[in-house]
Chain A
Amino acid sequence: MSDFETALAEMRQALYRAPRPLEDDHGSLQEAPSTLSPHTTDTDLPTRFARELESLRGSVIDVPNAEQAAFAIAELARSLELRSVAIGESLRIDLTQIVQKLREYGIDVFSVARVPEERRAELRVKLAECSAGLVEADCAVAASGTLVFVPTPERPRSLSLVPPVSIVLLEADRIVPDLAAVVSVLGSDAMRANPVAFVTGPSRTADIEKRIVLGAHGPKALYVVMVRSLG
């Protein structure tokens, strides 16, 4: 028997010797599925999402379609004086128009999607030095203002982590009421295979006298461009 199996046998023994806790307040052992109702009764999920995220000092830019998203992002990039923006491959919202607009504004746009081993080192440095990352969220949670990313080789995880400014595209239809709903929207296979990240506001710390400071290690600023319709 391996060490691990021996240990499991000992745990079984330990549980067997004292099968039941003293009082019956240890919860039932059945696999009862949760019957909790959704945590928000808001029907207007985009508005709730925006309110939550803004209370965490993230910004939401509400646009009707992908074309307007391109304008909004280019304007944002100009006002923030971004020099270079890292991107991955498109998810639902087509990035072509956006990239074009950014380049018109003289901003260097480079891709970190599907990187062959020999280019990793170079692109990691480039990503570390760029001014912003642009990536689409797979879904979002209204009740907490949370963005959910399912990173893949096409959209690597550091896109929403390493650059100091994070610009996130979000399709308004992909906003779910609460955390419990995320699994059903993304599917457990996606959440099992990829380095999923829930991101709620800019990176923050409260380690000095419990005062909140943004930009501890991750992005200092978070902009969500919420696209109402893809049509």
Chain B
Amino acid sequence: MMEPNPAAFYRASEKTVADEALRRKLEAATGRHLEHVAQMAAAFPPYYQEKAEARRVKAEAINRLPDLLAEFKRNFEAKGGRLFFARDAAQARNYIVELARAKKAKLVVKGKSMATEEIELNDALLKDGVEVLETDLGEYIVQLRGERPSHIITPAIHLSKEDIGRLFHEKLQSPYSEDPEALTATARQHLRAKFFAADMGIVGVNFLIAETGSLVLVENEGNGRMSTTLPDVVVAVTGIEKVIPRLADLSHFLEVLARTATGQKLTAYVNFVNGPRRQYELDGPRELHLVLLDNGRTRMLADPVLREALYCLRCGACLNVCPIYRRVGGHAYGTVYPGPIGSIISPALVHNGQTAHLAFASTLCGACKDICPVSINIPRILLHLRWLATEEGLPITWPAGPARIRASARRAVWLLSRPKLARMLSRLAGMLLRPLAHDGYLRWLPPPFTAWTKYRDFPLPGSGPNGASQRRAKETTDRADSEVRL
């Protein structure tokens, strides 16, 4: 795993921003997602009401968290489920590794789960000699590549169909194809047999219902349903914040989750896991375990601003609208959870101060808050975390680039506090540079400003109403910033 720190983040972003192919893939995938979401929202007038309801329920759930967890535990155990509370990642890992040992499990199939990424479960199991197979297609692909998912719900968003075709050809000895249909069929065939052979299924959870003690899994492929139906032992892993009070609350979340995550009305599957299999039942697990993970969440609860981050449904939409994520991709963050939500939860969940710099990697444009199905005020939390980092004097040392920027910012402050001089210089620069301009923009600036025009055009000084404050991205348009406003 890449150590998350400012220098690494800076270097990784610089690399990915310059990677034209990656940018094209990210733009295409995130852009397509935004179109779907916009269409879906337009076609469904109650969308905003449902969002408000979902937010109201989450607020209630988080404010009553201890009581709801106790209620959930009672109801879950009454049906024969076994609940293990894990204070941190290590406790969760150990419990599952011990369980696999006790059951002499050789093969584990996994449904999609960010929580198991968070506790780095796969490595622990592999080290113990257990074969672990991701069964969500995207997760399967990144596992074959020995990578980490670069997106919460589209793990292989950074790969093209050609990349995946080559990967399958190499690792699965299937004939080369770049047809998504053929590639999916190959994966299905490989994983089918594994589902039936697996000793244990490990899955994530979208909702815990306190009133009924149910686990609810939301998915499209059917792998979550397979993983909770076929193996004899099923272990679900999830954070404490996933609990909702009542069964009747669920529909509000289902109405917004898929719409925001993928632009669907509803995912292909919503599965309830309600205890182990009963007598005469063909399938379902003999044993059902739930690992309830704190791992920093109570710390978030104690901070009245940060607390709101616990409303997150992990829909992934804030990643797709984020102008930073769309440029640097998920891997650059160096954290399990990338993008805006990652920047606000990573400090508490995993890295203990090591990721404080991510709060500064945002333009605070607010697109994440607008698209969020439960309207988490991410920009406010980012500002709060910046304030905390400064207040606590967390050592955030950026590499040379930003230091240069700080120096030029000082010069700019000097110049801009002398408006007459600034205007005169700007007019002069505009006159000198006019021959180089196209459509009022400069594609190239002379040193020491060349670095700017490496990635962005610069407006001709003295031309626009706001002069130098207007920027334009090269080649791609910032659709996220302008057109899609939900």
Contact = CB atoms under 8 A, between A and B. Distances in A.
B66 A15 contact: yes
Contact of A115 (B50, B137, B223, B281): B281
A115 B280 contact: yes
Given A114-B280, A205-B184, A192 B270 contact: no
A131 interface: no
A203 interface: yes
Interface stretch (A25-33, A68-76, A77-85, A167-175): A25-33
Contacts of B250: 179
Contact of A202 (B46, B57, B251, B268): B268
B224 to A, nearest CB: 9
A193 B274 contact: yes
B284 A216 contact: no
A25 B154 CA distance: 31
B269 A218 contact: yes
B59 interface: yes
Nearest to A159: B282
Interface string B285-316: 00000000010001101111101100000000
A199 B268 contact: yes
Which 4 residue pairs across A and B have the least CB separation, nearest first? Answer: A218-B222, A27-B56, A216-B221, A27-B59
A191 B247 contact: yes
Interface stretch (A4-12, A95-103, A223-231): A4-12
Contact of B191 (A12, A144, A199, A217): A217
A35 to B, nearest CB: 9
B145 interface: no
Contact of B269 (A115, A144, A199): A199
Interface stretch (B27-35, B350-358, B391-399): B27-35
A52 B38 CA distance: 19
Interface in A181-216: 182-183, 188, 191-211, 213, 215-216
B155 A207 contact: yes
B245 A217 contact: no
Contact of A192 (B70, B213, B251, B307): B213
B279 interface: yes
Interface in A1-41: 3-4, 7-15, 17-18, 20-22, 25-29, 31-34, 36-37, 39
Contact of A198 (B59, B270, B298): B270
Contacts of A192: 75, 211-214, 247, 274
Given A153-B280, A179-B251, A209 B160 contact: yes
A15 B307 CA distance: 9
Nearest to A154: B280
B73 interface: yes
B58 A27 contact: yes
B137 A161 contact: no
A201 B278 CA distance: 28
B444 interface: no
B304 to A, nearest CB: 4
B83 to A, nearest CB: 8
Given A39-B255, A197-B225, A208 B265 contact: no
Contact of A36 (B53, B135, B138, B247): B53
B336 interface: no
Contacts of B222: 161, 203, 216-219
A11 B66 contact: yes
Contacts of A14: 298-299, 301-302
Interface in B224-244: 225-226, 228-230, 240
Contacts of A209: 25, 28-29, 160-161, 180
Given A158-B229, A208-B164, A183 B248 contact: yes
A20 B307 CA distance: 10
Interface of A: 3-4, 7-15, 17-18, 20-22, 25-29, 31-34, 36-37, 39, 52, 112, 114-116, 120, 123-125, 127-128, 143-146, 152-153, 156-158, 161-162, 178-180, 182-183, 188, 191-211, 213, 215-219
Interface of B: 25, 28-29, 32-33, 44, 46, 49-50, 52-53, 55-60, 63-66, 69-70, 73, 75, 79, 83, 85, 87, 135-138, 141, 154-156, 159-161, 164, 180-181, 183-185, 187-188, 191-192, 195-196, 211-214, 220-223, 225-226, 228-230, 240, 245-248, 250-252, 254-255, 262, 264-275, 278-284, 294, 298-299, 301-305, 307-308, 377
A10 B299 CA distance: 9
Nearest to A37: B46
B60 A27 contact: yes
A206 B305 contact: no
B85 A3 contact: yes
Contacts of B255: 39, 178-179
A211 B180 contact: yes
A157 B196 contact: no
Contacts of A198: 254, 266, 269-271
Given A21-B59, A192-B211, 8 more contacts: A3-B85, A37-B46, A152-B281, A188-B212, A195-B229, A197-B270, A209-B25, A209-B180
Contact of B282 (A37, A115, A201): A115
B226 A217 contact: yes
A142 to B, nearest CB: 11
B265 A52 contact: yes
A202 B159 CA distance: 25
6 contacts: A11-B66, A26-B63, A193-B79, A198-B254, A208-B180, A217-B223
A27 B245 CA distance: 15
Contact of A153 (B160, B267, B279): B279
Contacts of A216: 137, 184, 187-188, 220-223
A228 to B, nearest CB: 25
Given A4-B73, A18-B307, A197-B225, A191 B272 contact: yes
A165 B28 CA distance: 33
Contacts of A217: 135, 188, 191-192, 195, 221-223, 225-226
Contacts of B56: 27-28, 32
A161 B229 CA distance: 9
Contacts of A128: 192, 196
A31 B60 contact: yes
A86 B297 CA distance: 46
A144 B266 contact: yes
